[in-house]
Chains A and B, each alone.
Chain A
Amino acid sequence: MIKRLFGTKNGEDGGNGRTPSYQPTHLVDVDNVTKAYHTPAGDFIALDGLTLKVDPGEFVAVVGKSGSGKSTLINMITGIDRPTSGGVYIGETAVHELKEGPMAEWRGRNVGVIFQFFQLLPMLSCVENIMLPMDFCHVYDPDEREERALHLLELVDMSDQAYKLPSELSGGQQQRVAIARALANDPSILAADEPTGNLDSKTAVSIYDLFEELVDKGKTILMVTHDNDLASRVTRAITLADGKIVHEVKR
């Protein structure tokens, strides 16, 4: 099953931002990244010379207070935002050097993004939402895409809702579909920004169970969360304050 789901990708890697001088040894390598925002109230330092390395198969929780830089860190890894200085390397790709267009395709193939508010496109059914990244990134044969999307829905236990619109689903169900969408192009990394922030605790637990299953199957997950109980279930929890890692627990 796993082989079938994660082993048939027929597209090439979209990114090609490799820098010869730097030899990454980790899957995710956030190297001395600083991010400053210019606001009318003065410069705001979201990340302050932060370094983080993540290996394949890790389940990393990023915790911290509001404004500590958690979301900024995730955005650096997904390429949604760019560092002011420092470098972000995923596999052999220097993410911070990719231009916007190649970045989108690289992200589509290599990182599955999961949002707090699910962000499924309202006019597309669950299956179609999952097929969309394959469509954009030209991954998998067009005839196989629907079958694959259905399998992913099966994986997240949502196959019976496959042809419903997002508005017909509960929040937890929508987030399951959103996770399936993040898995669409079989990325090695899933990046989730408060994936359970908008869900009740029972549903949140089930989403965690799903994440653990995915980690067991070889995925690497980075997740921002507020929930300390849940954060204790991951393989590594890092705590941010003022843009720096102030605490780290490994299991």
Chain B
Amino acid sequence: MIRPRWRKVLRDLWGNKLRTTLVVLSIAIRVFAVGMIVGTQILLREDLSRVYGTTNPAHAFLSISPFDEEAIEIVRNVEGVAEADGRAEHTIPLQKEGDELGEIRLTVPADFADWRLQTVASISGKWPPDEQEILMERASVPYVNAAVGEMITVEDVDGRLRQLTIVGVAHDLFTQPVQFTNVPNGYITRDTAEWLGYGDKLSRMPLRIEGEDVTEEEIRAVIDRVKLKLEKAGYAYYGDWIPEPGEHPANEAVQPLLAILGILGLLSLFASAFLVINIINGLLAQHTTQIGIMKAIGARSSQVMGLYMASVLIFGLLSLLIAVPLGALAAYGLADFIAGFINFDLNGVRLIPQVVLLQTAVAILVPVLAALVPVLRGTAITVHQALSEQGLGAGHFGSSLIDRAMNWLTAVALRLSRPTRISLRNTIRRKARLLLTLITLTLGGAIFIGVLTVHESLLKTLDDALAYFAYDIDVEFKQAHRLEEIQRQVLAVPGVAAAESWIGASAVRLRPDGEEGDGFYLIGAPADTAVINPTLLDGRWLEPGDSNTIVLNSLVLKDEPDIQVGDVIMLEVDGREGEWRVVGLVQGVMTGGIGYVNQPYLARLLRFVDKADSVEIVAATTNPAAQRALEIRLRQHLEEAGMAVDSTGLISDVRGTIEYQFGLVVTLLAVMAVLVALVGGLGLTGTMSINVLERTREIGVMRAVGASDTAVQRIVMVEGALVGVISWFFAVLLAIPISRYLSNVVGNELLRSSLSYTFSFKGAFIWLVAVIIIGALASFWPAWNASRLSVRETLAYE
């Protein structure tokens, strides 16, 4: 049989269903938020690495002169090599709708039937494809305007139109997502590659070395042996690329998202602790008399404490029941949304032990700890104190300076009506309680405004990034040509408004410790360049007389974080080592690492005096289709003039890519802002409702002395709204450091530099409206409830 004291606990919970529901929901919504955020984070990380593992990823990619099975066999026999495979990759022109010319990236495996590394999975249709057939990557299908069974038109090596039949759909985790690149991915056999004029040889060799969790050094050691063997066998070794071991390339895009989620999760946890303290405080204030009676009839403080801790435990367990499944579902939904961008599938909805553990801690440990102080204080109250507080509850008004100031303000200075005076004075009557409510509301608001601020800062940074490109078309020549000749030929093409010739080179930093850096691109542009607008972060831009001075973009610092403006660094440019003085730092705009140097100096260094190997063109039109037509005219004109074109590119395509990369983070932030507002709003509504519930008896007294229902409701709602407005003020203040920190994290992960910080006034305004509504609505419900009770009932309300 249950003892009467535990029956009291259960019946307290059951008897006051409104309050129990509010408390459980308020805790549950926080536990839900923690589960959703942390769950998303873990789902993405776990499932991405799991899917990644099933594709047998390569540790390194070697670029070798054309080879076939013979070379693969040689490498497989090298000591330390676990597996080797071969492939070729060709990016060729693709005819899109109408006259539009796009590109398609074709991957040619050594053997479809024996694909060993970086595998691609068949999703539907034929496998392998026959000659003149192609498999499309699943995410690329919408980008080629053709369905399975239909044909796409590409240009072969000689510019002839060739048709490939789509015979199936495949999933390739390793492609750069087509949403980002705008270049669809397809898979063809070596026979088809030969038919297109690219020959049946392979050019890249994925390599996997023996052992688990290998380091870059171990990989490097094996590659050195492979290189020797291949060179001995007569192959030319062009270079290699070692991706971050064990990490999917998309991790780069996922990291900022995970960082944001992590911070929000932590803030959520913090806010939930305050919410719980608030709730428990309110609960105990209501039970003061009962605590007194129980002690009067023989209960020790520890026994009373046990009763209330049991209530807290039950609240926590009930919250868990709701929040764990809902949190898991929401985590799956959010993770699935993000996974869609990265082109991988989640392993399905599931409960993650760590997340459930964390949720349990939030739902039980945090409330129990949070309740400890108020329960200790509430139950340590003497019987005498408890019973003499039967009137209108705790709290004293009148003695402190703040109280007197409020009295004067409301009565004399503002001449407010008496009910409004009650609202204002009530607000500050229970100062500890007010402080807790304010902290809870403030945290919720600050997170919301912070997220929206990061959102706006990202958009501002995107604007800045797009403002960087003042040219429309980039033309790269196969060889360097004389500057005047380039200008003359290019300006002769109708539709070209302006042109500027650049010279490019690749640079590798020789680090102070003697190691080589990852390398970046050097642009030799005129110091007074008119076709780019880089945002200067530090130092200065190039000046006409500059020689071995260099301006780096922030993305170079991603790999070389020790470089500072004013440093002298060693660079190997086109095989020549030399010292360069870093004079400035500009914002990187997702073009990769770039160093800007004075064009005449670089041209001299490369023995290309008065020559350039690329030209940046400003089109007379902003219409993308017209620019695309101009791109084709330029190609034709330059080829006819005997200037072989290596590649051309439209900046509008680059813009699309940048917008998309930002879009992923921006979209997630927007989703998070809505969720934060929803979760925060619901939680806060619950807390404030509990506060008003606590005052049911007081409401009874007001009505007993003649207050109408509407007067009572007005008093309570004005008070709620007032608390909201006060919290809003602090939320705005707190949002500034929170959003600065969030912006730095996002900027660092995404761009290796801080974002163009823009405080979200829109977010602050939305929260002001929201918090007034939350305050008023949250107070209205229990006040309305109280006004339905008779005066006698409210006075007897426990």
Interface residues, chain A, CB within 8 Å of chain B? 40, 75, 78, 80-81, 100-101, 104-105, 107-109, 113, 115, 117, 119, 121-124, 128-129, 131-133, 135-137, 142, 146, 167, 181-182, 184-185
Q: Report whether A181 and B297 are in contact in the complex, using a CB–CB cutoff of 8 Å.
A: yes
The answer to whether the Cβ of B589 comes within 8 Å of any Cβ in the partner chain is no
The answer to whether the Cβ of B190 comes within 8 Å of any Cβ in the partner chain is no
Using known A-B contacts A80-B387, A131-B4, determine if residue A113 contacts B297 with beta carbons closer than 8 Å: yes
Residue from B8, B300, B380, B796 within 8 A of A124 (CB atoms): B8
Q: Which of B283-319 contact A (CB under 8 A)?
A: 289-290, 293-303
User: Whole-angstrom distance between the alpha carbons of A75 and B295 in the complex?
Assistant: 13
| Nearest-CB residue, chain B, relative to A122 | B798
Using known A-B contacts A80-B387, A109-B298, A136-B294, determine if residue A100 contacts B382 with beta carbons closer than 8 Å: yes
Tell me the minimal C-beta distance from B498 to chain A in angstroms: 84
Q: Report whether A136 and B300 are in contact in the complex, using a CB–CB cutoff of 8 Å.
A: yes
* Chain B contacts for A119, CB-based, 8 A: 289, 293, 296, 387
Q: Report whether B8 and A100 are in contact in the complex, using a CB–CB cutoff of 8 Å.
A: no
Residue from B3, B11, B301 within 8 A of A142 (CB atoms): B3
* Chain B contacts for A128, CB-based, 8 A: 4, 7-8
User: Nearest 3 pairs between A and B by C-beta?
Assistant: A108-B298, A123-B11, A136-B299
| Nearest-CB residue, chain A, relative to B289 | A119
* Chain B contacts for A185, CB-based, 8 A: 298
Using known A-B contacts A78-B296, A128-B7, A133-B297, determine if residue A123 contacts B15 with beta carbons closer than 8 Å: yes
User: Whole-angstrom distance between the alpha carbons of A1 and B761 in the complex?
Assistant: 79
User: Whole-angstrom distance between the alpha carbons of A181 and B382 in the complex?
Assistant: 20
User: Whole-angstrom distance between the alpha carbons of A181 and B1 in the complex?
Assistant: 20
* Chain A contacts for B5, CB-based, 8 A: 132, 135-136
The answer to whether the Cβ of B323 comes within 8 Å of any Cβ in the partner chain is no
* Chain B contacts for A184, CB-based, 8 A: 297
* Chain B contacts for A131, CB-based, 8 A: 3-4
Tell me the minimal C-beta distance from A25 to chain B in angstroms: 27
User: Using an 8 Å CB-CB cutoff, how does the interface string of B775-798 with A read, 1 for contact, 0 for none?
Assistant: 000000000000000000000101
| Nearest-CB residue, chain A, relative to B398 | A40
Q: Report whether B298 and A137 are in contact in the complex, using a CB–CB cutoff of 8 Å.
A: yes
Tell me the minimal C-beta distance from B663 to chain A in angstroms: 55
Interface residues, chain B, CB within 8 Å of chain A? 1, 3-5, 7-8, 11-12, 15, 289-290, 293-303, 380, 382-384, 387, 390, 399, 796, 798
Q: Report whether A132 and B302 are in contact in the complex, using a CB–CB cutoff of 8 Å.
A: no
Q: Report whether B297 and A136 are in contact in the complex, using a CB–CB cutoff of 8 Å.
A: yes
Tell me the minimal C-beta distance from A12 to chain B in angstroms: 14
User: Whole-angstrom distance between the alpha carbons of A218 and B291 in the complex?
Assistant: 30
* Chain A contacts for B7, CB-based, 8 A: 123-124, 128
* Chain B contacts for A121, CB-based, 8 A: 8, 290, 293-294
Seed contacts A107-B297, A113-B296, A185-B298; 10 additional CB < 8 Å A-B pairs: A40-B399, A104-B383, A119-B387, A121-B8, A121-B294, A124-B7, A124-B11, A132-B8, A132-B299, A136-B297
User: Whole-angstrom distance between the alpha carbons of A135 and B1 in the complex?
Assistant: 12
Tell me the minimal C-beta distance from B308 to chain A in angstroms: 14
Q: Report whether B1 and A142 are in contact in the complex, using a CB–CB cutoff of 8 Å.
A: yes
User: Whole-angstrom distance between the alpha carbons of A119 and B390 in the complex?
Assistant: 11
Q: Report whether B380 and A132 are in contact in the complex, using a CB–CB cutoff of 8 Å.
A: no
Query: Could you list 24 A-B pairs, sorted by A, with CB under 8 Å?
Result: A80-B382, A80-B387, A81-B384, A101-B302, A104-B300, A104-B301, A107-B296, A107-B298, A108-B298, A115-B293, A115-B296, A119-B289, A121-B290, A121-B294, A123-B15, A124-B4, A129-B4, A132-B8, A133-B298, A136-B297, A136-B299, A146-B1, A182-B297, A185-B298
Q: Report whether B303 and A136 are in contact in the complex, using a CB–CB cutoff of 8 Å.
A: yes
Tell me the minimal C-beta distance from B759 to chain A in angstroms: 47
| Nearest-CB residue, chain B, relative to A146 | B1
* Chain A contacts for B289, CB-based, 8 A: 119
Q: Report whether B297 and A100 are in contact in the complex, using a CB–CB cutoff of 8 Å.
A: no
* Chain B contacts for A122, CB-based, 8 A: 15, 796, 798
User: Whole-angstrom distance between the alpha carbons of A202 and B531 in the complex?
Assistant: 102
| Nearest-CB residue, chain B, relative to A166 | B796
* Chain A contacts for B298, CB-based, 8 A: 104-105, 107-109, 133, 136-137, 185
User: Whole-angstrom distance between the alpha carbons of A131 and B8 in the complex?
Assistant: 11
* Chain A contacts for B384, CB-based, 8 A: 75, 80-81
User: Whole-angstrom distance between the alpha carbons of A220 and B68 in the complex?
Assistant: 109
| Nearest-CB residue, chain A, relative to B307 | A136
Q: Report whether B1 and A101 are in contact in the complex, using a CB–CB cutoff of 8 Å.
A: no
User: Whole-angstrom distance between the alpha carbons of A115 and B651 in the complex?
Assistant: 85
User: Whole-angstrom distance between the alpha carbons of A168 and B510 in the complex?
Assistant: 89
* Chain A contacts for B1, CB-based, 8 A: 142, 146
User: Whole-angstrom distance between the alpha carbons of A104 and B304 in the complex?
Assistant: 11
Q: Report whether A108 and B297 are in contact in the complex, using a CB–CB cutoff of 8 Å.
A: yes
Tell me the minimal C-beta distance from B184 to chain A in angstroms: 68
* Chain A contacts for B294, CB-based, 8 A: 121, 132, 136
User: Whole-angstrom distance between the alpha carbons of A123 and B380 in the complex?
Assistant: 22
Q: Report whether A101 and B301 are in contact in the complex, using a CB–CB cutoff of 8 Å.
A: yes
User: Whole-angstrom distance between the alpha carbons of A128 and B4 in the complex?
Assistant: 6
* Chain B contacts for A123, CB-based, 8 A: 7-8, 11-12, 15
* Chain B contacts for A137, CB-based, 8 A: 298
| Nearest-CB residue, chain A, relative to B303 | A136
Q: Report whether B3 and A100 are in contact in the complex, using a CB–CB cutoff of 8 Å.
A: no
User: Whole-angstrom distance between the alpha carbons of A121 and B266 in the complex?
Assistant: 41
Tell me the minimal C-beta distance from B682 to chain A in angstroms: 28
User: Whole-angstrom distance between the alpha carbons of A122 and B3 in the complex?
Assistant: 16
* Chain B contacts for A105, CB-based, 8 A: 298, 300
* Chain A contacts for B297, CB-based, 8 A: 107-108, 113, 132-133, 136, 181-182, 184
Q: Report whether A100 and B15 are in contact in the complex, using a CB–CB cutoff of 8 Å.
A: no
User: Whole-angstrom distance between the alpha carbons of A75 and B796 in the complex?
Assistant: 24
Using known A-B contacts A81-B384, A100-B382, A121-B293, determine if residue A108 contacts B8 with beta carbons closer than 8 Å: no
User: Whole-angstrom distance between the alpha carbons of A78 and B292 in the complex?
Assistant: 13
Tell me the minimal C-beta distance from A141 to chain B in angstroms: 12
* Chain A contacts for B798, CB-based, 8 A: 122
* Chain B contacts for A113, CB-based, 8 A: 296-297
User: Whole-angstrom distance between the alpha carbons of A107 and B298 in the complex?
Assistant: 6
| Nearest-CB residue, chain A, relative to B390 | A117
Tell me the minimal C-beta distance from B561 to chain A in angstroms: 61
* Chain B contacts for A104, CB-based, 8 A: 295, 298-301, 383
* Chain A contacts for B300, CB-based, 8 A: 101, 104-105, 136
User: Whole-angstrom distance between the alpha carbons of A250 and B382 in the complex?
Assistant: 34
User: Whole-angstrom distance between the alpha carbons of A30 and B7 in the complex?
Assistant: 38
| Nearest-CB residue, chain B, relative to A14 | B298
Q: Report whether B4 and A80 are in contact in the complex, using a CB–CB cutoff of 8 Å.
A: no
* Chain A contacts for B390, CB-based, 8 A: 117
* Chain B contacts for A109, CB-based, 8 A: 298
User: Whole-angstrom distance between the alpha carbons of A129 and B296 in the complex?
Assistant: 13
